[in-house]
Amino acid sequence: MNRKSVSFAVLSGKGGVGKSNLALNICCGLHLRGRKVLLIDCDMGLANMDVLLGIAPEKHMQDILINNQDPADILLPFGAGGRPGLDLLPANSGMADFVDLDAGARSMLRDKLNPLAAEYDFVCMDIGAGISPTVLNFASMTTLRLVVITPEPTSLTDSYALMKVLSARYDVTDFHIIVNMAESQAEAKRTFNRLAAVCKRFLGFAPSFLCEVRADRGLTEAVRKQRPLMELAPRSPASQDCMTAAEKLEQLRSALPAGEALGAPLRNVSAVD
Ligand SMILES: Nc1ncnc2c1ncn2[C@@H]1O[C@H](COP(=O)(O)OP(=O)(O)O)[C@@H](O)[C@H]1O
Ligand SMILES: [Mg+2]
């Protein structure tokens, strides 16, 4: 069945800002809201969604490219209590050859993923940090882009660089910012405003604010227990904030026209590979 399938990339300039955990818990939030959700681990170098879920997949994303595996055969359901409609496409970590996929491999991956993506309401791509061609290419394929930042100055400069490169090379200028681990709502707003002002001044566009996610010790615990926080403690601060992100994504989805979940990159990356 073809659904209105909306994809979103979870991005950051700098690693370790919370992308994978937020991607996971936002997907759980969308699932709790009754949506069918596919989570794709696109961090081809340092994949770890399987670790966050305490599972040991036998097949991975990379098998689509190496062994011509059907993506549907790699899927692992992870809905709480076995509830269907929440699936992971895991990736293998530490495979350096896959960090920078060539243009042919990326378009093959997109063509193979699209029929599967069409079965879901939301497709979330957890993408590696930085500005490698593979990161940029994945980031330009999705319907929406969420950029995770923290109040650290290095997070701000690196996410600015990411948005700058994406806008210059791919004409992508729509970004939704999640401020993670701010000490207060005021600090979250200040952090966002600082980034938005620099983007507006030097890039000519301003990202929009999606939500903040509070620092939550429960999240660290959930990582240790290898279960999603949304499942262990759905009322905890970070879970509530990820639920807010899920609600915002629902609003964005309802305003979008139907279309392919993963589009072709707006500009051909081979020229800048
Ligand atoms: N909101 C939060 N509250 C507490 N700890 C967090 C939060 N977000 C991220 N972390 C911590 O940061 C670590 C790195 O998060 P992760 O999702 O793996 O980052 P990334 O995918 O961006 O590299 C987590 O293991 C967790 O300990
Ligand atoms: Mg990660």
Pocket of ligand 1 (CB under 6 A): 12, 15-21, 180-181, 213, 215-216, 219-220, 223, 238
pLDDT at residue 106, as a whole number: 83
Distance (Å) of CA 59 to CA 73, 77, 96: 8, 13, 17
How many other CB atoms are found less than 10 A from the CB of residue 250? 16
In eight-state DSSP terms, residue 121 is S
Atom of ligand 1 nearest to the CA of 15: 23
Q: Whose CA is nearest to atom 9 of ligand 1?
A: 18
Pocket test for ligand 1, best of 14, 19, 219 (most atoms within 8 A of CB): 219
Distance of CA 39 to the CA centre of its chain: 8
The pairing of beta strand 86-89 with beta strand 76-77: antiparallel
Q: Compute the distance between CA of residue 48 and CA of residue 42 in angstroms, rounded to an integer.
A: 10
Question: What pLDDT is attached to residue 2?
Answer: 57
In this structure, CATH architecture of domain 6-267: 3-Layer(aba) Sandwich (3.40)
Q: Which ligand is nearest to the CA of 211?
A: 1
- Collect contacts of 195-204 with beta carbons under 8 A, ≥24 apart: 195/149, 195/156, 195/159, 195/160, 198/156, 198/160, 199/160, 199/163, 202/164, 203/163, 203/164, 203/167, 203/173
What pLDDT score does 267 carry? Answer: 54
Ligand 1 center to 103 CA (angstroms): 31
Sequential pLDDT tens for the chain (273 residues): 457 999 999 999 999 999 999 999 999 999 999 999 999 999 888 889 999 999 999 999 889 988 899 999 999 999 999 999 999 999 988 777 777 788 888 888 889 999 999 999 999 999 999 998 889 999 999 999 999 999 999 999 999 999 999 999 999 999 999 999 999 999 999 999 999 999 999 999 999 999 999 999 999 999 999 999 999 999 999 999 999 999 999 999 999 988 888 887 665 444 444
Helix (H) or strand (E) holding 148: strand 144-149
Question: Hey, what are 7's tokens?
Answer: 């994809």
Query: Which residue, 213, 261, 233, 227, is CA-closest to 110?
Result: 261
- Cα(181) to centroid(ligand 1), Å: 9
Q: Could you tell me which of 273, 11, 265, 16 has the C-alpha nearest to residue 141?
A: 265
**Element (H or E) spanning 212, and its range?**
strand 208-213
Tokens 């200040």 belong to residue: 190
